[in-house]
Amino acid sequence: MKAIRLTLSSIALPIMLWGGFAFASSNAPAGMALIDGGVFKPLFRSTADFKEVAVKPFYLDVLPVTNEQYLQFVRANPRWQRSAVKRLFADESYLKHWAGDLELGTNASPDAPVTFVPWFAAKSYAQWSGKRLPTTAEWEFAAAAGYTSADGETDVEFKRALLAWYASPAQQLANVGAGRTNYWGVHDLHGLVWEWVADFNTAMVTGDARGDTGLDRQLFCGSGSISARDVSNYTAFMRYGFRSSLKADYCVHNLGFRCAKDL
Amino acid sequence: MKTTLAIIPLLVVSSLPAFADSCCAAKNVPACCAKAEPAGTTLSDKSLYQTGSTWTTDANKKIKLADLKGRPQVVVMFFASCQYACPILVHDLTRIESALKPELRGKLGFTLVTFDTKRDTPEVLAKFREIRNLPAANWTFLHGADDDVLELAALLGVKYKEEANGQFAHSNVITVLNADGEIVHQLVGLGQDINASVRELEKLLINTNATLE
């Protein structure tokens, strides 16, 4: 085991130095990290899908949006207050852990990630802050990084930590930033909450143009799943399944968001 | 009827100028007011017409969804070069239209929104409509920005995905909106039994008859 780690870090070190160099020369906005572009290989695809999606360099929030930050947004945009929100955009659970329209209360720590927020609100928050939601490809690309390399698949320690999180039942939400940063300097992409992406409704299609033939039948359990690109990537399976079950007005206890921005 | 409708708003405005803006909030104001009111001010919590996005029609006209207000709409999302599902989807819409009593047919709109923002320009959409003999009077095709298409799909519960060959995988959903833009009925799948959709539309069309003239 030790030998493997040594080998890994000897590969990772030059990459880190190079990566660190890139960071130094970039002017990422406050609270955001530069994610170098690359190629995102979708975990699931039908024969008709893109094999690879090019991801252009972009900025990503280092931390998920917190209750406190969301409170500022709600103050500035009263239409997003709990009692004022239109049912079209948020279901009945909207901010239900808050004590009031403008009061967090004891169930919502100011520094914990905001949850019980719908996609519409996340999108609106991002626009309000001059940003946007990341795409699935961007989010997955950033989240695929391990602790020490842009490709977490080779990072044994990272993969083990991931599985440990996905295997453990949800508890009281921790504050943002407690988790270890990944290669890009981003916290909490795993281990805290699920996050909305701009194109969550492209995650999986049912009853589609081709009557589901050639589609992601392999999404589901059993031997069918071996046609996924990387069968050991259970956590990506779970994210795809989760996204595909969402509707844009859903407010869920463990679903928050963070923002992205073009360079 | 027409004269009555024209007179009442006049009276409201001339005798109570201070209240003209908030006329519709008052409970005993006749239903006419909704028509005089600019779109967007009297929308219900569940109205899709609350979205502010701007679209281009196949007649190259810029509209907001709220401009569809006033008569029930049958809405689908599609793309013009679709070889398999969309022709069936459009056929389902014409089936629905012909199943309605002739006197009701002109009182609803069919709105088709494209996923294919790159290729389905207003011109392409106009051609699509013409080839299929779908009258411009009540068939509208919309082209929008990627982000707005995504949002409308989210509102309608439609999922879609662009494929490497330029086609789109998408769910087939026919949505019936009432005159206020609320979803009252959805038919999922292709070539389904349209009876429930037709009944739902008849109910709406009978109820909204008065506001149509």
Asked if A64 and A188 count as a contact pair (C-beta separation under 8 A), the reply is yes
- The whole-angstrom separation of Cα A77 and Cα A151 is 39
Give this prediction's pTM: 0.77
Phi-psi region of A51 (alpha: psi -120 to 50; beta: other; left: phi over 0): alpha
**Measuring CA to CA, how many Å separate A105 from each of A71, A111, B114?**
12, 12, 45
B204: helix, coil or strand? helix
Q: Which residue, A96, A65, A70, is CA-closest to A175?
A: A65
Is A179's pLDDT higher than 50? yes
Q: Calculate the average pLDDT of chain A.
A: 80
- The whole-angstrom separation of Cα A51 and Cα A182 is 25
Distance from CA of A137 to the nearest CA of B (A): 13
State the pLDDT at residue A71.
98
Q: What's the start-to-end Cα distance of chain A, in Å?
A: 40
- The whole-angstrom separation of Cα A93 and Cα A180 is 30
State the pLDDT at residue A14.
39
Residue contact B172–A198, C-beta within 8 A: no
Phi-psi region of B60 (alpha: psi -120 to 50; beta: other; left: phi over 0): left
- Closest CA in chain A for residue B165: A48
B68: helix, coil or strand? helix
Question: From the list A88, A123, A215, which residue is nearest B169 (CB)?
Answer: A215
pLDDT along chain B (213 residues), means of 10: 38 35 37 40 88 95 96 95 88 95 92 96 96 94 95 92 84 94 92 92 79 43
- Closest CA in chain A for residue B155: A248
- The whole-angstrom separation of Cα A137 and Cα B135 is 41
Q: Which two tokens stand for residue B164?
A: 């490497």
For residue A59, the cross-strand partners are: A34, A261
Question: From the list A48, A51, A87, which residue is nearest B45 (CB)?
Answer: A87
What residues of chain A lie within 8 A of the CB of B154, using their CB?
119-120, 201, 247-248
User: Which residue has 């239109």 as its token pair?
Assistant: A86
